[in-house]
Amino acid sequence: MLEIRGLRRKFGEFVALEGLSFTVGRGQVFGFVGANGAGKTTTMRIVMGVERAESGEVWWQGKPADRAARRRFGYMPEERGLYPKMRVANQLTYLAQLHGVAAAGAAASTAHWLERLGLADRATSRLEQLSHGNQQRVQLAAALVCDPVLLVLDEPFAGLDPTGTDALSEVLLDLAKRGVPVLFSSHQLELVERLCDAVAIIDHGTLVASGTVEELRRRRGQLLWRVDVAADHRDWMAGLRGVTVERETDRGVVLRLGCGSDEQAVLDAARAAGPVSHFGAVSPTLAELYREAVSP
Amino acid sequence: MNRSFWLVARREIVERARSKAFLIGNLVVILIVVGIVVAQAMASGNEGPLRVGIVGVEAGELAAAADPVATSIGVVLQTETLPDRATAEAALRDGRVDVALVDGETVLSEGMLSRADEALFSAAAQRLALTKALDEAGISPGDQDEVLSPPPPRVETLTDDESGSAGFLVALVAATVLYGMLILYVQWVAQGVVEEKTSRVVEVLLATVRPSELLVGKVVGIGLLGLAQIAVTIAAGVIALQITGSLQVPAEGWTAIALVVAWFVPGYALYGMLSAVAGALVNRTEDLQVTTTPMVMLLVVGFFVAQFAAMDPLSPLARIGGFVPFWAPLVQPLRAAAGAIPAWEIVVSLVITLATIALLVPLAARLYAGGALRVDRRIGLREAWRTAADRRW
């Protein structure tokens, strides 16, 4: 389990992190969401130890993360980079060994991930000879080859085509199934929603929401209701307390139920206006939740 | 140090040793060394006997008279009797003989006769004439030899200082060559550091390796590879010397080479470390020139101090230069080769040099740590120092 505890970090006058805390559980695929400059990259760099926090701590398995623990973390930094002239397999084996894997294990792990990511035939190519997409795959392999106990991936889906996205998703879910927590950041909120067990939404260096997507929805309350009704007039809901029209649809309206409203009263009013074919709460997407969470 | 450090060093060695640039560089160095040795051998002209064709009885007498003269200047004559002048001319054109003597009056040669050969046969003619005159005067052959082959004159040189000695010359050549190699390897270090920054691989590395491990591993790896290249170069030179058998390197020459190489190690360590810091301060290879200039100046001045010191090993400049940490590795081996210097001076300067290395490692590691992850722009030493405090190392 990875615990982020009250991280603070300033760059000159710019406050990057202001007491950020969240927890990534065992086997969780954890989406890290926020605008550019919200502090995602800084957080991940602090987790990996390439950046220092002014205060706050990173805990791993119940104690502060030290060098030995971090050696087993797999990392894909925001700015990708490997040795352009080094051969792919040599490069991955070298990185695995730097992470403390013995020579034989490093070679085996390299072969495994090259095979798994469809790069087996490029093992002896220099990195620079590979296409951009394949270089991305090697970068992912570089994070995986040390047989990590935790994965920290900064925008791993950026620049991937649909096939690459699917392949990466599959790998991440696979690792999570084996108990490896996967922390990754992304701007593709549909993808995060589909993939993640839990998310953290951060804004200006602070956590604005975290938990499973379901929890976020529940916590917010059912705000939007879709009413499909063949009403004889459009303002049948006028006069209901706390109810506003969010938008009109082909078959009716989506209503926002605010403070002091009563959905049963809304239903009664709708039935009075005409036959109701659908009445139910609208689940907000993560994108909607995100927008609500970060809007001032 | 630990395993990571060796992994880093090994990667440097393996990847560089595999590169075409390194192999070609090695080949060029070997060719240059072998070329110098062979050129030396050719210039010293020590190539087998002088083959002389002989036509007629008088020519035989002349050749016999030439033999002791030739022996006295280290030339071996190999004679061959030919029936007539036409045959002799043909043999000359074929290159079967170098010169031909015809009837004791004519020296035939294909091209210009060298001055040495001309002098040889003039002397032989004189000797022959003298022998005949002495015979007529009734002097016995034994007494004739005494007259004709006096002991050679003793040679004395006016300049008697040690700087003319072979050991010193060898040291000077070795020091110049190693100075060039030092600059080369130190450049590799700086470029290697910048390449890791421009390719951004440095963040992947520093997520698992300490900056000090990365720094020292890189410097040591390139240094070992450099030493291997130096060894190969020396071996090529030795083999070429053996084969041509031309140039004799005196014992003090080998001592001088050993001294220069021994001092190369701490010298490289010092400049390699500085070079890594220079590399960590920039984010593009083009900017390297700016940050390496102070280091290169230090090195160049040290090299000139070493030249002066070699000319006058006991002058104040030489003595002080021997104690300056970044100059000692250049100055001391040349001073030692040029003349006896007090042992305590060598010990003290060695202690100073090693202490400087010990101080420089943590210092350079901190500056390197501060600069390595600054990939956005060129930074100064002060900023690198402060940035390092911002990281957890």
Name every chain B residue with its beta carbon within 8 A of the beta carbon of A146. Answer: 208
Are residues A87 and A124 in contact, defined by beta-carbon separation less than 8 angstroms? yes
Q: Provide the whole-model pTM.
A: 0.76
Best residue of A14, A50, A152, A183 to probe chain B, by most B CBs closer than 10 Å: A50
How many CA atoms within 13 Å lie on the side-chain side of B129? 8
Closest-CA residue of A relative to B12 is A86
CA distances in angstroms from B44 to B39, B40, B51, B252, listed in the order given: 9, 6, 18, 22
Are residues A16 and A205 in contact, defined by beta-carbon separation less than 8 angstroms? yes
Q: Given CB atoms, is B59 within the 8 Å cutoff of chain A? A: no
Q: B71-129 pLDDT, tens per residue?
A: 777 778 888 888 888 888 888 888 888 888 888 778 888 877 877 788 888 888 888 88
CA dihedral (B141, B143, B148, B149) positive or negative: positive
Res. B165 pLDDT band, cuts 50 70 90: low
In angstroms, how far is the first alpha carbon of chain B from the final one? Answer: 16
Rounded Cα gap, residues B331 and B319, in angstroms: 9
* B150 three-state secondary structure: coil
Exposed/middle/buried for residue B213 (C-beta within 10 Å: 0-12, 13-18, 19+)? buried
CATH number belonging to domain B50-148 = 3.40.190.10
Q: B209-240 pLDDT, tens per residue?
A: 988 899 999 999 999 999 999 898 888 888 88
Q: Given CB atoms, is B155 within the 8 Å cutoff of chain A? A: no
Q: In which element (H, E) is residue A34 found?
A: strand A29-34
Q: A89-126 pLDDT, tens per residue?
A: 999 999 999 999 999 999 999 999 999 999 999 999 99
Q: Which of residues 141-200 of A touch B (CB under 8 A)?
A: 142, 146
Closest-CA residue of B relative to A96 is B208
Closest-CA residue of A relative to B199 is A81
Strand ranges of the sheet holding A198-203, from the earlier edge strand across to the other edge: A73-76, A150-153, A182-185, A29-34, A198-203, A206-211
Taking Cα atoms as reference points, which of B121, B126, B170 lies closest to residue B148? B126
Backbone angles phi, psi at B165, to 5 degrees: -75, 155
Q: Which residues of B56-67 are buried (b: 16+ CB within 10 A; e: fewer)?
A: beebebbbbbbb
Percent of chain A residues past pLDDT 70, beyond the cut? 99
Q: A36-60 pLDDT, tens per residue?
A: 888 999 999 999 988 888 889 999 9
Q: Given CB atoms, is B46 within the 8 Å cutoff of chain A? A: no
Name every chain A residue with its beta carbon within 8 A of the beta carbon of B373. Answer: 50
Rounded Cα gap, residues A224 and A241, in angstroms: 15
Name every chain B residue with its beta carbon within 8 A of the beta carbon of A97. Answer: 3, 7
A258 pLDDT more than 70: yes
Are residues B99 and B50 in contact, defined by beta-carbon separation less than 8 angstroms? yes
Of A77, A86, A98, the CB nearest to B203: A77
> Could you say which architecture CATH assigns to the domain A218-294?
2-Layer Sandwich (3.30)
The DSSP string of A234-250 is TTTTTT-TTEEEEEE-S
Residue contact B391–A52, C-beta within 8 A? yes
Residue contact B199–A99, C-beta within 8 A? no
Taking Cα atoms as reference points, which of B311, B346, B319 lies closest to residue B161? B311
Are residues B373 and B203 in contact, defined by beta-carbon separation less than 8 angstroms? yes
And the tokens for B205? 């590395």
How high is the pLDDT of residue A47?
94
Are residues A136 and A159 in contact, defined by beta-carbon separation less than 8 angstroms? yes
Task: Please give, one letter per residue, the 3-state secondary structure of A68-93.
Answer: HHHCCEEEECCCCCCCCCCEHHHHHH
CATH number belonging to domain A2-212 = 3.40.50.300
Distance from CA of A177 to the nearest CA of B (A): 25
How many CA atoms within 13 Å lie on the side-chain side of A220? 27
Q: B116-160 pLDDT, tens per residue?
A: 788 888 888 888 888 888 888 888 877 777 777 777 777 666 655
Task: Say which residue, A12 or B8, is predicted with more confidence.
Answer: B8
CA dihedral (B203, B207, B213, B218) positive or negative: negative
Domain boundaries, chain B: 3-41+165-389, 50-148
How high is the pLDDT of residue A73?
95
Of A48, A52, A67, the CB nearest to B390: A52
Largest CA distance in chain A: 77
CA dihedral (B185, B186, B189, B194) positive or negative: negative
Q: Given CB atoms, is A75 within the 8 Å cutoff of chain B? A: yes
B390 pLDDT more than 70: no
Of A48, A52, A84, the CB nearest to B207: A48
Residue contact B208–A98, C-beta within 8 A? yes
How high is the pLDDT of residue B162?
46
Closest-CA residue of B relative to A70 is B208
Q: In which element (H, E) is residue A24 found?
A: strand A14-24
Name every chain A residue with its beta carbon within 8 A of the beta carbon of B390. Answer: 51-52
Distance from CA of B93 to the nearest CA of A (A): 58
- Report how many Cβ contacts below 8 Å link chain A to chain B: 62
Residue contact B204–A51, C-beta within 8 A? no
CA distances in angstroms from A17 to A7, B6, B228, listed in the order given: 6, 37, 50
Q: Given CB atoms, is B209 within the 8 Å cutoff of chain A? A: yes
Quote the distance between the C-alpha of residue A31 and its chain's center. 2
Task: Say which residue, A296 or B202, is predicted with more confidence.
Answer: B202
Report strand pairing: A2-11 vs A14-24: antiparallel
Report strand pairing: A73-76 vs A150-153: parallel
| Range list for CATH 3.30.70 in chain A | 218-294
CA distances in angstroms from B267 to A136, A138, B69, B232, B333, listed in the order given: 41, 39, 53, 20, 11
Q: Given CB atoms, is B369 within the 8 Å cutoff of chain A? A: no
Name every chain B residue with its beta carbon within 8 A of the beta carbon of A50. Answer: 203, 206-207, 373, 391
Task: Say which residue, A31 or B141, is predicted with more confidence.
Answer: A31
How high is the pLDDT of residue B164?
47
Of A75, A84, A97, the CB nearest to B207: A75
Q: B306-344 pLDDT, tens per residue?
A: 888 888 888 888 889 889 989 999 988 888 887 778 889
Name every chain A residue with its beta carbon within 8 A of the beta carbon of B204. Answer: 75, 77, 81-82, 95, 142
Q: Given CB atoms, is B9 within the 8 Å cutoff of chain A? A: no
Q: A138-166 pLDDT, tens per residue?
A: 999 999 999 999 999 999 998 888 888 99
Mean predicted confidence (pLDDT) in B190-203: 92
Best residue of B195, B203, B386 to probe chain A, by most A CBs closer than 10 Å: B203
Distance from CA of B231 to the nearest CA of A (A): 27
